[in-house]
C-alpha cells in the first residue's frame, strides 16, 4: 500500500493505471466523497502490494533490496530506474511486495512462520476469506512490521458508542469510554458504557475504565485537591472503581486527572502508587493520560502536576495527549503537529520507558473563521467532511512540511474566510513512522466517532495490532 498526491490532470483511472490498481479499488479504499472529482493536493491511499521507501544517506539499491527481501530488478522496474547505482537522498522508491507460489504441503501457518508474519496478515494481503490455499496459488507475502498496542477513547455512549467500537474494533487493543467523573465524596458518576464493552469483547478488545476530575464546565482543580489530599477519600474512590470494573468486565484503569495544582503533584504520585498497590494483586493494570510536556520544568496548570518520571516508574503505561495544539477556541493551526509531537516524545523517552508510551493522535478536523477572534469556537468535524468542504469551495489543499499536516483556506457564501486543518494519508503515515522510529508501545486515538478510512488502512499496513 502506497500514498500518492493528486496532481493537476490526474484521474482515478490514470492513477490506477500508473500503479497497477483500479479506479474502483482506489475509490473504495479512500471512501471518496466524489470519485469523479479529485482535488489537487488531495492524498490518496493506493491499495497495491507495495510500500514506499525514502532513500537515506549512504544507502545502496542492493541494501534496500536486502532489507525488504525483494530482487533488485523488481525495484528497478517498478521505479523505472535507468542508473541503479545513482540514488538521490530523499527520493521515494516503491518497493513491490515479495510473492510466493504455494507448494504441496504448505499451510498459511508454516508460511507465516517462514516469512516472519502472521496468518491474519497473509489473509488480509491476499483478500482470503478462509485460511486455505491451493497448490500453485501465487501469494503476496506481507512486509515485516512491528507489533504495537492501539487504544481509542470514545465519548458517545449507548448504541452509538457500541457501533463505533464495532466498526473499528479489529484495529484496537484497548477501548476507553470517557469517562467516569469522580465526586467529592469518593463516588463516581454513571455512564452507559455497557454496549461499548459488549462490542469490545466481541472484537477481542480489552475495555479500560477511565476516571477523571474535570467536565466542560469545571476544570476540576478543586475536586482533584479534595481527593488527592485525603487518603480516606482515595481509598473510597478506588473501592468504587474496583466494584465497577468487577461488575462490567473492565481489564484496567486509565487515570486522566487534569488541571491539578503543582502543590498537589506529590499527592498525585502517591495516589498512583496506592492505585497500583490495590489493582495489581487483582490482575488489573493502571495507566495515566499525560499533558504534552517538553521538559520537567514546564510551567502551567496543565503540566506542573504531571510528573513524567514518576508516572513512568509507577504505572503500566501512559498516554501522551499529543493533540489539541489547534484548540477549538484558539487560533487556527495543526491539531497534532509532528514537530511538536516530536519535542514531547524527545523529552518523554528520557524519563519513561519507551515500551510504556502511547503517542496520542486525534481523529477530527477543524474549521476556523478568519480573522480569528479570542473566544471564537472552531467547527469540529471528520476528515471526509474536510474533503467535501474543499471540493464544495474549490479550495487548494496545501501541505505544511514542518507540522506534516494538510490545510486549506476558502471563502464561504457570506464572503467570510475560513482556514481548515485536518489529517490525511501523508500526515497519518508521518505519525506512524514516528512511532516506529522511537520504538513506542503504541498509539492512542482521541476520539472515535469521526470517520477517517485512510487511517485504519494505513494503521494495519504499518503494524500488527496486538490483542490481549
How far is 407 from 395, CA to CA, in rounded Å? Answer: 10
How far is 215 from 228, CA to CA, in rounded Å? Answer: 18
Run of H or E residues at 148: strand 147-154
With cell 467529592, the residue in question is: 184
CA angle, residues 450, 452, 457, in degrees to nearest 5: 145
Classify residue 265 by its DSSP letter.
H
Return the C-alpha cell found at 126. 491476499
**β partners of residue 409:** 419
How far is 423 from 450, CA to CA, in rounded Å? Answer: 12
Q: Write the Ramachandran bin of 186: left for phi over 0, alpha for psi from -120 to 50, otherwise beta.
A: left
Return the C-alpha cell found at 307. 510528573
CA 352 to each of CA 253, 303, 315: distance values in angstroms, whole numbers, following the listed order: 19, 16, 10
Contacts of 446 (CB under 8 A, 6+ apart): 153, 321, 323, 360, 361, 362, 363
Could you tell me if 287 and 174 are in contact, meaning their C-beta atoms sit under 8 angstroms apart?
A: no
Could you tell me if 368 and 378 are in contact, meaning their C-beta atoms sit under 8 angstroms apart?
A: yes
Question: Among this protein's residues, is 258 annotated catalytic?
Answer: yes
| φ, ψ for residue 419, nearest 5 deg | -130, 125
State the burial class of residue 187 (Cβ atoms within 10 Å of its Cβ: 0-12, 13-18, 19+): middle
Q: Which of 164, 199, 258, 385 is catalytic?
A: 258
**Helix runs in 20-125, H state only:** 23-30, 61-68, 72-79, 108-115, 119-125
| φ, ψ for residue 145, nearest 5 deg | -150, 155
Active site residues: 258
Amino acid at each position: 500500500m502506497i500514498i500518492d498526491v493528486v496532481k493537476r490532470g490526474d484521474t482515478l483511472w490514470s492513477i490506477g493505471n500508473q500503479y497497477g490498481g483500479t479506479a474502483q479499488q482506489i475509490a473504495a479504499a479512500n471512501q471518496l466523497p466524489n470519485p469523479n472529482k479529485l482535488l489537487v493536493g488531495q492524498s490518496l491511499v493506493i491499495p497495491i502490494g507495495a510500500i514506499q521507501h525514502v532513500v537515506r544517506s549512504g544507502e545502496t539499491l542492493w541494501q534496500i533490496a536486502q532489507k525488504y527481501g525483494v530482487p533488485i530488478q523488481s525495484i528497478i522496474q517498478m521505479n523505472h530506474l535507468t542508473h541503479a547505482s545513482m540514488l538521490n537522498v530523499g527520493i521515494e522508491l516503491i518497493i513491490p511486495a515479495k510473492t510466493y507460489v504455494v507448494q504441496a504441503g504448505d499451510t498459511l501457518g508454516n508460511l507465516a512462520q517462514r516469512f516472519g508474519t502472521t496468518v491474519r496478515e497473509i489473509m488480509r494481503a491476499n483478500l482470503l476469506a478462509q485460511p486455505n490455499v491451493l497448490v500453485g496459488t501465487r501469494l503476496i507475502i506481507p512486509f515485516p512490521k512491528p507489533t504495537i498496542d492501539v487504544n481509542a477513547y470514545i465519548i458517545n455512549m449507548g448504541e452509538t458508542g457500541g457501533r463505533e467500537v464495532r466498526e473499528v474494533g479489529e484495529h484496537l487493543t484497548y477501548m476507553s469510554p470517557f469517562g467516569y467523573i469522580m465526586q467529592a465524596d469518593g463516588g463516581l458518576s454513571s455512564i452507559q458504557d455497557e454496549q461499548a464493552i459488549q462490542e469490545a469483547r466481541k472484537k477481542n478488545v480489552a475495555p479500560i475504565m477511565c476516571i477523571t476530575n474535570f467536565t466542560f464546565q469545571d476544570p476540576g482543580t478543586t475536586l482533584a485537591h479534595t481527593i488527592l489530599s485525603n487518603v480516606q477519600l482515595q481509598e473510597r474512590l478506588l473501592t468504587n472503581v474496583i466494584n465497577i470494573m468487577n461488575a462490567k468486565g473492565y481489564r484496567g484503569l486509565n487515570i486522566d486527572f487534569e488541571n491539578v495544582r503543582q502543590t498537589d503533584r506529590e499527592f498525585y504520585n502517591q495516589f498512583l502508587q496506592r492505585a497500583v498497590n490495590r489493582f495489581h494483586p487483582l490482575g488489573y493494570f493502571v495507566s495515566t493520560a499525560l499533558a504534552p510536556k517538553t521538559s520537567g520544568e514546564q510551567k502551567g496548570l496543565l503540566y506542573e502536576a504531571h510528573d513524567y518520571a514518576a508516572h513512568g516508574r509507577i504505572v503500566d503505561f501512559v498516554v501522551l495527549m499529543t493533540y489539541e495544539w489547534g484548540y477549538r477556541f484558539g487560533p487556527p493551526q495543526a491539531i497534532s503537529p509532528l514537530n511538536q509531537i516530536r519535542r514531547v516524545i524527545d523529552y518523554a523517552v528520557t524519563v519513561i520507558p519507551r515500551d510504556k508510551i502511547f503517542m496520542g493522535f486525534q481523529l477530527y478536523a477543524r474549521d476556523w473563521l478568519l480573522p480569528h477572534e479570542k473566544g471564537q469556537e472552531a467547527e469540529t468535524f471528520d476528515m471526509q467532511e474536510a474533503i467535501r468542504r474543499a471540493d464544495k469551495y474549490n479550495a487548494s489543499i496545501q501541505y505544511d512540511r514542518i507540522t506534516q499536516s494538510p490545510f486549506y483556506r476558502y471563502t464561504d457564501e457570506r464572503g467570510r474566510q475560513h482556514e481548515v486543518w485536518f489529517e490525511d494519508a501523508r500526515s497519518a503515515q508521518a505519525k506512524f513512522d514516528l512511532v516506529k522510529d522511537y520504538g513506542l508501545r503504541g498509539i492512542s486515538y482521541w476520539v472515535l466517532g469521526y470517520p477517517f478510512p485512510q487511517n485504519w488502512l494505513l494503521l494495519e499496513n504499518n503494524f500488527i495490532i496486538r490483542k490481549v
